[in-house]
Structure 1
């Protein structure tokens, strides 16, 4: 089987997307005195885009969770960030803020995958990203665990709508680079779809047509490692037949959620018709429903295209990359695993999969070897990581960290 992104599909975390949506400020939380002041009430700072912004490409890599990871500076200090258009106000890791001895003010609370999270606030002098510099303003602060990227190391910052929303964001997934341009620029040709900033939640929103349903608003979320996510109501409205489904787990800032997933033959995003798309269906009362959205368009979908996000111009432009309509890699093991420095942790056993049919598999199990090969720190980018989406019929020998051995025969099950 060919190895291609997204490697979250049966490879590194076997279909586990990492959902980092932090949408707006809610009721104040009692973090400290004086009472919390939400991000929307604070001074936004002054943005300046360099005249040569066209040439200010930012190189990135994709995390095992399919997020865009890169380096930038805050107050002259280099840090690691993720580009996350599903975040209203950029979020600095509490761990980083405390290590840098930054004064953290109370910031209220925010809706996130899995529930609500407390947030703080730190003032900044200068935030620099490619050709964009913001002076003044500040950053929200929250816990950003390593599981948020699917890798062994956490990131320091989520760069959200407050930094990018006034510009055209050109993401070249194939070349692993992005840049910010003046709104209205059209650096490449592709299929167009409507795009805006939600007035209430202050995130990027678009729409999709799935089966018989036109679903909107859909949060366009580069920080969401999955492809397309819809509400239970949206899935029912689509009236699709013949789609085999299973279950998967998603992780957000506030916890985990188990959803249904399946591969649909086609869906439309504006003028673009995409084929063989993985769709995740949230449980009733899930995150999207709770925030009044129809679902999310994530990086697992966007990475198949050259992408221009320009909400000020009202458009998203998608130009297919080679293989954009190829079927995504599917788990054939039925195990969703997270990467730790020298082991894999089972996060979820997928409904109807080989692991569910075998005895003994459960969340929390630790795997230390695969066919005798140890789990190394660079496991996520090695061919070994493809085992869980391997050829049906292959038997994989898994060495558990307690010294026992388990065998698992791979199979197609959704």
Structure 2
């Protein structure tokens, strides 16, 4: 299951409220002289986001690297624990709806080679469900902290670093990259079928691959793609989308093959913020990526997984971890689970006789839902009965 998380700048339909982070002190950011050697290790959350460690006013914190966030967001939980003074009263557009935000001043934020003195952070509730983890993170590191620098993402090595803009640490395919004037997030453009789609938000905080609007999908006119449904989780709630795998798409000089594409319903988040969609971590992780908006370019060097058909569900069940059990979050259209009458909200306590382990997210047992077609899986519900589910390809 991939989860999407994205926070845009405050509402576009009205003037920025007094609490808007744009109206607050920005602070001063700088890189250490040895920036090239200052790699930041990260792990991928179950929601497919880059999670790493930062320091906020001398306190250790966990963060997600999120180029789809206009202003970095601190969790209310962390702010309360650190006894930070939070000014409230604003709101922001997020996947799933509108969320309340506040603002707090900070003395210093640092990670890797980056140190920002002064300034502050937006403050919002950051739910654990948005990353698929048992514990929520403390901070979304957004555009405001990193836009002046080149961001070198080594997904294969599970590490990233910030470099002075203009550096070219590796060679690859070039695509355009800028900061949008209205939403203040990283944006590019891509070609899908007959459609040229822009602006596409380049969003490391979105765990899915590529997401487009309903209008963009219609304009692409791609025939023969089997689709189903899936869900995404944002700060504002849950969104149901259509999903399919397209044979090719173009991103600048790059032609990518076998790409998973989500299609938002009409009037969805991307339309609301007047974008054509998002390019997420599910796509970017197949490459080594350099994001350098100050130099107006993105570099993508294909990795070992580029162009491979993506992992797809053969069960039709999207589940979330709930301590010692799995909770069914969505039943995918046309899949074996829908055919067998499964419903969202049901809970699973054992798979082929094995209880759900604490490390389920990284345990080999978790591969059952995308297993070999024809395999029969025994799933014991937490209220007693056991069901059998035969896996199959359905999109």
TM-score (norm 2): 0.98
- Which 5+ residue runs of structure 2 have no aligned equivalent? none
- Does residue 149 (structure 1) correspond to residue 149 (structure 2)? The answer is no
**Which of 368, 371, 374 lines up with 1:387 in the alignment?**
368
Question: Could you tell me how far apart the structure 2 residues matched to 1:144 and 1:405 are?
Answer: 35
| One of 7, 11, 21 as aligned partner of 2:6 | 21
Structure 2 counterpart of 1:4:
none
Does the 8 Å contact 1:259/1:283 carry over to 2? Answer: yes
* TM-superposed deviation, 1:26: 2.6
Cα distance in 1 between the residues matched to 2:122 and 2:305 = 38
State whether residues 29 and 114 of structure 2, in contact with CA within 8 Å, keep that contact through their aligned partners in structure 1.
yes
| Alignment partner, residue 166 of structure 1 | 148
Whether the 8 Å contact between 1:27 and 1:109 is mirrored in structure 2 is no
Secondary structure of 2:333's aligned partner: coil
Shift of 1:340: 2.0
For residue 167 of structure 2, give the secondary structure of its aligned residue in structure 1.
Answer: coil
Are 1:38 and 1:107, in contact at CA under 8 Å, matched by a contact in 2? no
The equivalent residue for 1:220 is: 202
- Bigger RCO of structures 1 and 2 (CA < 8 A, at least 6 apart): 1
Alignment root-mean-square deviation, CA: 1.2
Q: Is the Cα–Cα contact under 8 Å of residues 8 and 69 in structure 2 kept in the other structure?
A: yes
Post-superposition, which runs of at least 4 consecutive aligned residues in structure 1 deviate over 2 A? 26-29
- Per-residue CA deviation, residues 93-144 of structure 1 (Å, 9 max, x unaligned), is 1111112211110251100001111101111000001100001000111111
User: What residue number does 1:295 align with?
Assistant: 277
- Provide the TM-score with structure 1 as the length reference: 0.93
Q: Does 1:52 align with 2:34?
A: yes
Structure-2 separation of matches of 1:384 and 1:135: 45
How many residues get paired? 393
**1:131 is aligned to 2:121:** no
3-state SS, counterpart of residue 23 of structure 1:
coil
1:39–1:107: 8 Å Cα contact kept in structure 2?
Answer: no
One of 206, 209, 228 as aligned partner of 1:246: 228
Match of 1:9 in 2: none
Structure 2 CA distance for aligned equivalents of residues 188 and 27 of structure 1: 38
How many Å apart are 1:36 and its aligned residue? 4.3
Q: Secondary structure at the match of 1:153?
A: coil
